[in-house]
Amino acid sequence: MPLPATLPPALFVTGTDTGIGKTATSTALLHALRRRGLRAVGMKPVASGSEDLGQGLRNEDALALQAASWPVPDYADLNPYALRQPLAPELAAAEDGVQVALAPIVAAFERLRAKADIVVVEGVGGWLAPVSATLDQLDLVRALKLPVLLVVGMRLG
């Protein structure tokens, strides 16, 4: 995967739908950045469909980002909001009794930025999936001041 000569300090990977390839794209990007000698870490601010693996809730996509990152970030910074149910984030948060807020996400992002040359932030679901009743993914992008990489499916129609 060719990379541009100059890279932003972070970027936001989103997709047109859930299951479109955001995690595959994000992990491939992290590996390519690391091959170039960069400290590249992933972040999944909000993840639904998490399981308790003995160390608290963990999400499969977030774990893939963690495995592709160097230095390896603390899971709590990588995934500040791990939600149990595999539902739209707004619904999964309500089921867990969690109120998703920007401040913890921004603080975790800043901790990751301090340790890395670039942070690859993966969105949840499709671009239009609400994060909470009052936040959408555009709010995250604006708060973190990130350029956006849109993953689209190659489909007829």
Residues marked active site are found at 44
What kind and span of H or E run contains 12? strand 10-15
Q: How far is CA 11 from the centre of its chain?
A: 10
Is residue 86 a contact partner of residue 61, using CB atoms and an 8 Å limit?
no
Task: Give the whole-angstrom CA distance, residue 78 versus residue 41.
Answer: 8
Closest C-alpha among 20, 145, 36, 135 to residue 81: 135
Q: Phi and psi at residue 6, in whole multiples of 5°?
A: -115, 135
Work out whether strand 57-59 and strand 50-52 pair parallel, antiparallel, or are unpaired: antiparallel
